[in-house]
Structure 1
Amino acid sequence: MGSPAEFTEYDTRLAAYAVIVDDQDRVLLALWNEPEEPLWTLPGGGVDLHESAEEGAVREVREETGYDVELDGLLGVDTLVNAPDERILSSERWQKNVRVVFRAHVVGGELTKELDGTTDEARWIPMADVRGLERIGLVQKFVG
C-alpha cells in the first residue's frame, strides 16, 4: 500500500513532550506501556483539541509524572509517519505524528505514577545511563 499524498488522506496527531534535566544531571523519563515491550519515552503525549502545544506539554507532564513544570523553550519538532498496520489503534489510514519537544524545569508537585494511562512509571535516569535503555527514537534524538 503506497503512502497517501494529500493531507486529507491521512490522520495527523499533534503531541507535545518535555525534556527535564535536574541539577544532578538526571533526565525525567516515563515508561510507555503500549508497545509489546515497554519503552522509555519523554513525558508528554497528545495535545487536546482546544490546547496549545505548550499547554498540552505541561498537562501531560503533570499526568505522567506528578510534577508541575514551566517550559524553558522549544527544542525542536519531530515527525514520524506510521502505516495503517503500524498504528497502535487499528485503522486503514496512515498517520503523521507531529511531536513538539520543549525544555522544561520542575516548579512543584512530587513524583507519582500515572493511573490507568499509557505510562506505568516515571523515573529520574542519570544521563550516563540513557543510552543503555530501551527507548523511543524521540529520546535518542533529544536526550541521547
Structure 2
Amino acid sequence: MHFTEFHTRIAAYVLIVDGDRILLSWYRGDALTPPCWTMPGGGVEFDETLRDAAVRELYEETGYHVKVGGILAEDHLTFAARDGRLPIRSQRFVFDGSIVGGTLGTTEVDGTTEYARWLPIAEVRSMDQAIKADIVDVALAYL
C-alpha cells in the first residue's frame, strides 16, 4: 500500500526503571481502547523530534523531567479503515531514559492519562493483557 493510502501516527515512549520497578501510566481509555497500563509517552506533534516528544509526553503523564537516551525498541501496528477513515499505521519508538527532576504526578489537563505509578516489574510481566497495553511488552522485552 502506498503511503498516500493510509494515515501515519508516530509515537515516542520512555522506559524508566528504578531497581525492580517500572514507571507506567494509566490510560483512561477511549472508543477504541479500554483503560489500561501503558508506557509513558504518546504522539509526536507535527514539527517535533522523537526525543522532544518523549520528554514532553513523559513530563505530561508523570510529572518527571527526563533525559532521553537511545532507542531501545521500535514497533508498529496497523488499523483497518473504518467509518470512512483511511487505514492507520502507528510507528512506535521506545527510548531509554533517566529522571533528572520533577515530582510524580500527571501534569496534562484533559489528557488521556489519569495517573502514573511505579510498579514491580515482575507484577507487570504477569499482568493480564486486558489491562496492559502491548507497548509495555515491547519495552519489557528489552529488559
Give the TM-score category using the shorter length: 0.7 to 0.9
Kindly provide the CA deviation profile for residues 58-94 of structure 1, in whole angstroms up to 9, marking residues without a partner as x.
0000001000000121102111001134xxxx65210
Aligned to 2:68: 71
Which position in structure 2 is the counterpart of 1:10? 6
For the pair 1:30 / 2:25, whether they are aligned, the reply is: yes
Query: Structure 2 CA distance, aligned partners of 1:110 and 1:91?
Result: 42
Gaps of 5+ in 1: none
How many percent identity over aligned positions? 44
Task: Give the aligned residue type for 1:40.
Answer: W
**1:57 corresponds to which residue?**
54
Aligned length: 135
Give the letter for the 1:64 counterpart. Answer: E
> Per-residue deviation at 1:142?
1.4
Q: How many angstroms apart in 2 are the aligned matches of 1:92 and 1:130?
A: 34
Amino acid at match of 1:125: L
Counterparts of 1:101-120 in structure 2, within 5 Å, are 101-113=94-106, 114-120=108-114
Q: Which position in structure 1 is the counterpart of 2:89?
A: 96
Deviations 1:82-139 (A, max 9, x none): 1134xxxx65210000111101011000011243111111000111110233211110
Task: Give the direction of change, closer, same or farther, for the CA distance of 1:112–1:96 in structure 2 (3 Å limit).
Answer: same
3-state SS of paired residue (1:84): coil
Distance 1:68 1:93, change over 3 A: same
Instruction: For 1:91 and 1:102, locate their aligned partners in 2 and report how far apart those are by CA, in whole Å.
Output: 34
In the alignment, which residue of structure 1 is the partner of 2:78?
81
Letter in 1 for 2:46: L
CA distance in 2, matches of 1:46, 1:105: 20
Q: Which 5+ residue runs of structure 2 have no aligned equivalent?
A: none
Shift of 1:44: 0.3
CA distance in 2: counterparts of 1:91 and 1:53, whole angstroms: 29
TM-score (norm 2): 0.88
TM-score in terms of structure 1 length: 0.87
Distance in 2 of aligned mates of 1:137 and 1:37: 12
Distance (whole Å) between structure 2 residues aligned to residue 37 and residue 12 of structure 1: 21
